[in-house]
Amino acid sequence: METGNWFSILYNGVPIRFFNLSRCVRQGDPLSPTLFILATEASSRGLKLLFQNGNIRYYAAARNRIPVSHLAYADDVIIFLNASKNSVGNLMKFISTFESHSRQLVNRAKSSFYMSGKLQTARMRSISRLSGFTPKSLPFSYLGFLSKKERKIHTMFQPIIDNWP
């Protein structure tokens, strides 16, 4: 008897025929980008649910601001969360589950976290041990934007406007 995973594609919510994979999808395979997008979308929805359900608490932004859980571009992701042990622990469980289901690994050597200057060194060490990520200092650059508190938002975007073709 043959055992293994069977797959199906949903079309308007109805599974079309089932099939099983005889080999892994290799890098460069025409199906790779689609599978990457599906995995990224699943991780994004999973993160959003964790925040909405209160399993991870939002980073405390200014009042009357829309809470942002994460930003993602290609394989770069920034997650904004409260530095509580519970929030960090739930995030790490999510990352572990994502890694085991998608077979995509988070490169902990390239991953880091940034904390408010108000938090103590002991908390920073605790998060580093729990996550395996390296603590770094603010500000940081993401996709060409320098993260910093800026009252006049146009000054934050001025370098991009100046270099626009």
Whole-number pLDDT of residue 1: 38
Query: Is 27 a domain residue?
Result: no
- pTM value is 0.72
Q: What's the total number of domains in the chain?
A: 1
- For residue 75, the enclosing domain spans 32-144
Question: How far, in Å, CA of 153 to CA of 147, rounded?
Answer: 11
Q: What is the pLDDT of residues 99-158, one digit of tens each?
A: 988 878 899 889 999 887 777 888 899 999 999 999 988 788 877 777 766 556 566 667
Q: Read off the DSSP letter of residue 58.
A: B
Q: What is the pLDDT of residues 43-75, one digit of tens each?
A: 999 999 999 999 999 987 667 777 888 888 888
Whole-number pLDDT of residue 142: 78
Q: pLDDT-derived band of residue 36, with 50, 70 and 90 as boundaries?
A: confident
Whole-number pLDDT of residue 96: 95
**Quick check: 88 and 130 in contact, CB under 8 A?**
yes
CA-based end-to-end distance of the chain: 62
Element (H, E) at 95: helix 85-102
